[in-house]
Structure 1
């Protein structure tokens, strides 16, 4: 029993320490994902060490200390996404429908053929914006029925798991499809016009994940997120009462909310995460309850407060759709603050972009 528990403790310690290296290999970066699961295992292992082993033995004391450290460290990353922490985004108090903006983000999974389920969700919740990821020509043909209700659209059908479609009830201006880092991985950049006439800069993204079958390292994903963050950071750093536009970034980032890369994105961009203090809203994997992480995201500038956020029922994909309702309320949101970057963060973001030879100047800035 002693040897088994010590071996398990070693595995937990390795899984906890490897991400500290910031190495971009997919095995290391993948360990950012299951922090909740590792914390649960560490808690069970800590109880086993305390109850089944002789705590007078030095090796037992070492195992208990190591397991306790791992548990605390993993919890530090995920606790912001629980109700135990202060909300980063204020709850909305203005219910004026003209100032609301609802966005439904759905990674449909290209081979999935249950388009009716997504169409029914759109007609039930009536979002202002629908963005689909992994949508190919077949999905485009099926979703054409929505154009009577959502007459504005941007379409980029691809059969490589990176197709993307945008449907909107609100006017879209200055739309552009870009391939920022990889030649077959698109992103959509546009300006939305609210019913009040206010304009919002939006970025819809789906960078490729680090994995053994796609990119063996996270370098491409990290670079795309960093240059978008740097482009946005220049805008949101201005005085809110001057010329900067409200900004929203949403999509499947193929990264968890608490990873060092996503935290870097939030720091450099200055955007807020409405899930902080509210919940994880795990959207992947729909088929495996114990292996679920928040991969689908929506970040926004301080111009918005949150009406609601909810994970919607499965549409047959490996991702659940995510529906977020924001309220444009720049006065109420003016003193909302997220993570702040330091010199190390700025240097790290610079190195990530330079390694892929990309720049924030590559990112479209609609209406900027």
Structure 2
């Protein structure tokens, strides 16, 4: 092997291994982080393959084998991310009317607890005037800075924290039965409430920010996956109009988020429209979609947009939706098969066995069989 062949071979092995790792069900953080940079891995492998065509003579078996593995890995990655390109059919139908009574707009912003550029977020709020604003990583400093908007956002749910998991929801619309939950971890809050549209229609909302699989946070993705799927099972049971939004610390195309979507039967308005990468705002080459907004099939999409930087490591996301019950007939809801339903139950059990047993109680009706 020449020097360039050794380099190309080594890089090919690395990215093929990363592709294989992303396919595994193991929850260890060093496995699950391979879910995130699928686009970057795909582009890297494509460049390696092109260079291989230039420098390999393909007169040795290893050259043919590694190049074939590269092509297979590229194809696998493309299949995973292609749904989030304009070449894929849109999962959510667009709305072209002007009915404000049945519409709702919201903004999601991971503000970055140490960020002190609150004026940029305030400018966006003033410009877009969303009905709901969710801030995550909000602490007491951020609560004080954003108190300026409370004259317009008179309904709030606040849990500012200094552990990077504080959460504050501001709403112009009435909130009903609002509560702060700790679904898996005692120091990771989430918000559950009903929001009343101007028409009077009630919409169930869930705001989430679970821990990421990363050495400084969690050694595995178990807690994150369990929290997402707990909410998914509740939505599956209730079957009411619903919105789920926040920083999931997971990418849109991961197995965990796809399973959540199938269990909850919620739609992703990004499918067929784009990646809408929100993290990392300061690193152009290392970005992926971490901030999500899912909704039930009785909504149509008015607008979705990734917003400009506010000094955080996340870009904010904005979306406006129109509630239209008849649109259920226009949408194909994701469906979990029996194996995926069983896997979802196992993930909830692994995340919190006590919570799993509580959900298995007959009165909860979530279709979970208790351990015997």
**Which TM bucket (shorter chain)?**
over 0.9
Q: Where does residue 262 of structure 1 map in the other structure?
A: 257
RMSD: 1.3
1:228 corresponds to which of 207, 211, 231: 231
Asked if 1 retains the 8 angstrom alpha-carbon contact of 2:102 and 2:197, the reply is: yes
Residue in structure 2 matched with residue 340 of structure 1 by the alignment: 335
CA distance in 2, matches of 1:350, 1:197: 35
* Cα pair 1:249 1:300 within 8 Å, conserved: yes
Paired with 1:235 and 1:299, the residues of 2 have a C-alpha distance of: 16
Q: Which stretch has the larger CA shift, 62-71 or 250-259? A: 62-71
- Secondary structure of the 1:309 match is strand
After the TM superposition, which residues 265-304 of structure 1 pair with which residues of structure 2 at under 5 Å, given as runs?
265-304=260-299
Q: Please, which runs of 5 or more residues in structure 1 have no aligned partner?
A: 237-244
Verify the 8 A CA contact 2:297 2:333 in the aligned structure 1: no
* CA distance in 2: counterparts of 1:47 and 1:291, whole angstroms: 22
Offset at 1:353? 0.8
Partner Cα distance (1:43, 1:339) in 2: 31
- Matched with 2:96 is 93
Runs of 4+, deviation exceeding 4 Å:
none
- The answer to whether the Cα contact below 8 Å between 2:94 and 2:302 also exists between their aligned partners in 1 is yes
TM alignment of 1:1-368, pairs within 5 A: 1-236=4-239, 245-355=240-350, 356-357=352-353, 358-359=355-356, 361=359
Larger mean CA deviation between 2-11 and 259-268 belongs to: 2-11
Deviation digits for residues 20-78 of structure 1 (CA, Å, limit 9, x no counterpart): 22111111000000000000001001111112101232211111101001111111110
Unpaired stretches in structure 2, ≥5 consecutive residues: 365-372
1:335 Cα deviation (Å)? 3.0
Task: Write the distance in 1 (CA, Å) between the matches of 2:104 and 2:225.
Answer: 28
Partner SS for 2:325: coil
Shift of 1:116: 1.1
* Worse-matched range after superposition: 9-18 or 183-192: 9-18
Give the Cα–Cα distance (whole angstroms) in 1 for the partners of residues 341 and 140 of structure 2. Answer: 40
In 1, distance between residues paired with 2:22 and 2:37? 12
Is the 1:305–1:333 contact (alpha carbons within 8 Å) kept by the matching residues of 2?
no
Superposed displacement of residue 95, structure 1 = 1.8
SS in 2 for 1:192: strand
Q: Deviations over 1:300-336 (max 9, x none)?
A: 0011010010011111100000000111112134331
- Tell me the distance in 2 between the aligned counterparts of 1:8 and 1:281: 28
Q: Distance in 1 between matches of 2:97 and 2:190?
A: 32
Provide the rounded CA distance (Å) in 1 between the counterparts of 2:238 and 2:267: 14
**Partner Cα separation in structure 2 for residue 2 and residue 332 of structure 1:** 55
CA distance in 2, matches of 1:291, 1:138: 29
Q: How many residues align?
A: 355
1:98 is paired with a residue whose SS is: coil
TM-score, length basis structure 1: 0.94
Q: Distance in 1 between matches of 2:303 and 2:277?
A: 15
